[in-house]
């Protein structure tokens, strides 16, 4: 993914609900709103499990489309989700990258309670970038993509495990998009559509002809140590209501160190295309106020390996998303 523009960080004034000011990382949260007699049990996100799921992907090596590691990881992800739900499919597509490489992409799609009409789409990209072009050395070699690719998938694997045990009120679809990161380096509009090829393919060829969801949440770069998540621009433009809901939820359950009410940049990422397809979607993505490109310093370098992955960050993101999806429809 890439930034189109980066806006100077500016604090955004936000009014919090007083009923949500209590913070605490409880194993099970209950809905305490007075008007509701309904108790909503939110499962405890296990960051150790998510960490292992990231390690398992990284152990295949870089998951660059057309590579052996990519094919092996696809099989691994397919068999993992098949154990959780009978509704799993791989969407195969042939696309051409900006550098004229033909790739066979595989979008991995797992659905829970497909009969429900109210739905939430959770997504991440599972491929990794073919080059570490932000690294001072070995730029032409691929990195391991522990955070960029692996972390979002690992968190969704752990969330899926909970959904398979205890269904939320809304149906859930998980899409692991392929070929997100084979994009052209540098800014400018000409490079925009070179990223997110799997998401663009899916938007043109949805896995169900009339597929829709109430909203979508994208997880990208969600495992880095001391990561900070700011209010990404396209998410704010398309799905401000959802962005506010996610960030307020995070703060209310004790993760204000991670989720900052500050303006982030505009990131071309899979959510950009899903938003254009009519599903309001938010990107939870780490940003940095100190790097020139606006991303964490391990982004697109060889430092993006298991050493940067922190269970505390995985927990903050995973627990927040679980809260949002389990509370949906409960009032």
In the region spanning residues 17 to 56, those forming contacts with Zn ion, defined by CB under 5 A, are none
- Does 148 participate in binding Zn ion (rule CB under 5 A)? yes
Which helix (H) or strand (E) segment holds residue 165: the answer is: helix 152-165
- Least Cβ distance, residue 265 to Zn ion (angstroms): 14
**Cβ nearer to Zn ion, comparing 129 with 315:** 129
Q: Answer whether 5's CB lies under 8 Å from 266's CB.
A: yes
**Cβ nearer to Zn ion, comparing 5 with 28:** 5
Count of alpha carbons within 13 Å of 82, Cβ hemisphere only?
Answer: 8
Choose the binding region for Zn ion from 9-17, 103-111, 181-189, 247-255 (rule: CB under 5 A).
181-189
- Does 181 participate in binding Zn ion (rule CB under 5 A)? yes
**Cβ nearer to Zn ion, comparing 148 with 328:** 148
**How far apart are the C-alpha atoms of 150 and 144, rounded to whole Å?**
9
- Least Cβ distance, residue 88 to Zn ion (angstroms): 25
Q: Which residues contact 110 (CB under 8 A, 6 or more apart)?
A: 81, 84, 85, 87, 88, 160, 173, 174, 175
Burial of 177 from C-beta contacts in 10 A (0-12 / 13-18 / 19+): buried
Alpha carbon 258 to its chain's center:
15
**Cβ nearer to Zn ion, comparing 135 with 181:** 181
- Least Cβ distance, residue 148 to Zn ion (angstroms): 4
**Cβ nearer to Zn ion, comparing 134 with 252:** 134
Place of tokens 């927990």: 315
- Does 135 participate in binding Zn ion (rule CB under 5 A)? no
Choose the binding region for Zn ion from 28-36, 98-106, 158-166, 173-181 (rule: CB under 5 A).
173-181
- Least Cβ distance, residue 263 to Zn ion (angstroms): 21
Burial of 117 from C-beta contacts in 10 A (0-12 / 13-18 / 19+): exposed
Q: Which residues contact 186 (CB under 8 A, 6 or more apart)?
A: none
Choose the binding region for Zn ion from 46-54, 79-87, 177-185, 193-201 (rule: CB under 5 A).
177-185
For residue 91, list its beta bridge partners.
Answer: 107
Choose the binding region for Zn ion from 95-103, 140-148, 309-317, 323-331 (rule: CB under 5 A).
140-148
Three-state secondary structure of 178-197? CCCCCCCCCCCHHHHHHCCH
Q: Total binding residues for Zn ion by CB under 5 A?
A: 2
**Cβ nearer to Zn ion, comparing 180 with 328:** 180
Q: What would the two tokens of residue 116 be?
A: 């429900």
**How far apart are the C-alpha atoms of 285 and 219, rounded to whole Å?**
6
Choose the binding region for Zn ion from 148-156, 163-171, 259-267, 289-297 (rule: CB under 5 A).
148-156
- Least Cβ distance, residue 269 to Zn ion (angstroms): 9
Residues of this chain that interact with Zn ion (CB under 5 A) are 148, 181
């Amino acid at each position: 993914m890439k930034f189109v523009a980066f806006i100077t960080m500016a604090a955004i004034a936000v009014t919090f609900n007083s009923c949500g000011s209590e913070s605490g990382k409880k194993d099970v949260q209950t809905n305490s709103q007075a008007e509701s007699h309904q108790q909503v049990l939110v499962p405890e996100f296990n960051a150790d499990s998510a960490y292992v799921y990231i390690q398992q992907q990284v152990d295949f090596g870089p998951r660059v489309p057309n590579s052996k590691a990519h094919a092996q990881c696809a099989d691994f992800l397919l068999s993992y989700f098949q154990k959780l739900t009978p509704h799993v499919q791989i969407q195969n597509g042939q696309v051409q990258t900006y550098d004229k490489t033909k790739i066979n992409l595989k979008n991995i799609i797992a659905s829970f309670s497909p009969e429900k009409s109210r739905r939430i789409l959770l997504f991440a990209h599972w491929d990794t970038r073919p080059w570490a072009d932000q690294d001072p050395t070995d730029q032409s070699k691929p990195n391991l993509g522990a955070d960029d690719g692996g972390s979002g998938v690992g968190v969704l694997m752990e969330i899926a495990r909970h959904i398979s045990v205890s269904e939320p009120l809304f149906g859930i679809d998980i899409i692991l998009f392929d070929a997100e990161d084979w994009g052209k380096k540098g800014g400018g509009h000409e490079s925009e559509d070179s990223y997110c090829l799997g998401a663009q393919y899916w938007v043109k060829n949805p896995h169900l002809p009339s597929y829709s969801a109430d909203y979508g949440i994208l997880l990208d770069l969600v495992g880095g140590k001391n990561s900070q998540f700011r209010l990404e621009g396209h998410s704010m433009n398309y799905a401000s209501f959802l962005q506010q809901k996610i960030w307020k939820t995070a703060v209310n359950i004790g993760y204000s160190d991670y989720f900052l009410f500050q303006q982030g940049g505009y990131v071309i990422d899979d959510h950009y295309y899903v938003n254009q397809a009519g599903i309001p979607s938010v990107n939870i993505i780490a940003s940095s106020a100190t790097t020139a490109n606006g991303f964490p310093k391990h982004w697109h370098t060889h430092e993006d390996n298991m050493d940067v992955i922190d269970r505390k960050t995985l927990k903050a993101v995973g627990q927040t998303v679980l809260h949002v999806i389990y509370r949906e429809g409960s009032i």
